[in-house]
Amino acid sequence: MALVRLATARTHYGSSFLCLRSESLPRCWSQIRAFSAAMSPPSSAVVYEHHGPPESVTRVVELPPVEVKENDVCVKMLAAPINPSDINRIEGVYPVRPHVPAVGGYEGVGEVHSLGSAVKGLSPGDWVIPSPPSSGTWQTYVVKEQSVWHKINKDVPMEYAATVTINPLTALRMLEDFGNLNPGDAIVQNGATSIVGQCIIQLARIRGIHSINIIRDRVGSDEVKEKLKGLGADEVFTESQLEVKNVKGLLANLPEPALGFNCVGGNSATLVLKFLRQGGTMVTYGGMSKKPITVSTSSFIFKDLSLRGFWLQKWMSSDKAKESRKMIDYLLGLTQEGKIKYEMELVPFSNFHAALDKALGKFGSQPKQVIKF
Ligand SMILES: NC(=O)c1ccc[n+]([C@@H]2O[C@H](COP(=O)([O-])OP(=O)(O)OC[C@H]3O[C@@H](n4cnc5c(N)ncnc54)[C@H](OP(=O)(O)O)[C@@H]3O)[C@@H](O)[C@H]2O)c1
């Protein structure tokens, strides 16, 4: 029965193909092949049939070929990351989630494998990314309409192409969209080791903006600080270093920041607020600690602080998103020039569950896990 449902699952990812009984699959495939010349190869996919703990609800299964219709592009996936939002989608706690059964993953890069008869402007071998990001990238072959795919330059390493949209674009937008930052200004952020955090440091530096960064306490924090400073961070503090009465006294010559970014919540968010100047704004875009944000009454009355939020998926559905492909090309260009880099670990697809355990934080702090197909 499981295979029946998984065959159905693939209908969400570009096909109307449905086999009724698992034991009839081979005959079913050959019948479909007789009617249609254009079929994708079978696809190995990370599928979940129920929401729940990702390590227990996900399985790697073989999905049958699907039809490549006239406007479709069949893409052989090369790499796709495991992002916190992928985990939340599988857990069923993300505001938007695919119907189950579903294939995991939301961004990635692939190589065009075959094209529907009406597709123009793409050729086999081209590198493409789903843009805006789109569900179901954790599989070896994805079939979706041409409009989903954005052709990119092949000169960047595949792991950067696979991860360029969700995190670097969030960093870029947040720096642009919340007030006017000028060269010489400063921003403050927690979660500075995240990909978003590392991109904020580097994009800020390109604009002449200083960054004050907060990281979790850990063994080897000096090494992490040095790495972030190597990316252009002006100051990096562990949370425990900031358990002082006057955090701004630690800032030497940096100006008080008007803008702060929070992807952690709890005490770490309070520390961001402490750095902000009168009338400053904290933008929350993640909640890695799963703890709420507590704001003192005096922060509102005497400092007139503002709290905002950012969600890339909502931004992507706005008019401005039309320009997002240009922004992605810009970010990939910076990567190519070595102006943006971040830590990643490429993991063979066969080790998917080991990568998932790392992404779930079971072994402490880890670089971003990127599946290589
Ligand atoms: N709102 C949006 O549109 C949007 C878009 C993109 C990303 N995000 C959010 O941005 C955040 C970072 O994403 P990413 O992909 O860049 O992250 P990432 O590279 O996967 O890194 C994970 C980050 O979370 C930190 N972390 C993990 N568990 C934590 C915990 N229990 N308490 C405190 N910190 C913890 C890690 O710190 P250590 O180094 O100390 O382990 C690391 O900085 C996530 O919350 C993600 O959902 C939001």
167-313 belongs to which CATH class? alpha beta
* Strand 186-189 versus strand 259-262 pairing type: parallel
Residue 149 sits at φ, ψ, to 5 deg, of -95, 140
Q: What is the pLDDT along the chain (373 residues), one digit of tens a residue?
A: 344 344 444 544 433 333 323 333 344 444 444 444 599 999 999 999 999 999 999 999 999 999 999 999 999 999 999 999 999 999 999 998 789 999 999 999 999 999 999 999 999 999 999 999 999 999 999 999 999 999 999 999 999 999 999 999 999 999 999 989 999 999 999 999 999 999 999 999 999 999 999 999 999 999 999 999 999 999 999 999 999 999 999 998 899 999 999 999 999 999 999 999 999 999 999 999 999 999 999 999 999 999 999 999 999 988 776 799 999 999 999 999 999 999 999 999 999 999 999 999 999 999 999 999 9
Facing residues of 283 across strands? 261, 308
Neighbours of 120 (CB within 10 A): 6
Residue 172 CA, ligand 1 centroid: distance in Å: 16
Token pair of 354 as six digits? 């080991």
* Cβ 368 under 6 angstroms from ligand 1: yes
Output b/e per residue, 280-291; b: 16+ Cβ within 10 A: bbbbbbbbbbee
pTM comes to: 0.92
Comparing CA positions, the residue from 81, 75, 59, 194 lying closest to residue 123 is 75
Question: Which CATH number is associated with domain 2-163+343-372?
Answer: 3.90.180.10
* Cβ 83 under 6 angstroms from ligand 1: yes
Per-domain boundaries in the chain: 2-163+343-372, 167-313
Q: Per this entry, what is the length of the chain?
A: 373
Which residue puts its alpha carbon closest to atom 6 of ligand 1? Answer: 167
- In angstroms, what CA-CA distances link 32 with 42, 45, 275? 13, 21, 63
Q: Which of 13, 94, 106, 160 is catalytic?
A: 94
* Cβ 167 under 6 angstroms from ligand 1: yes
* Cβ 191 under 6 angstroms from ligand 1: yes
Q: Is 94 a catalytic residue?
A: yes
- In angstroms, what CA-CA distances link 115 with 67, 153, 154, 249? 11, 19, 19, 60
Facing residues of 81 across strands? 370
How many Cα atoms within 13 Å fall on the side-chain side of residue 232? 22
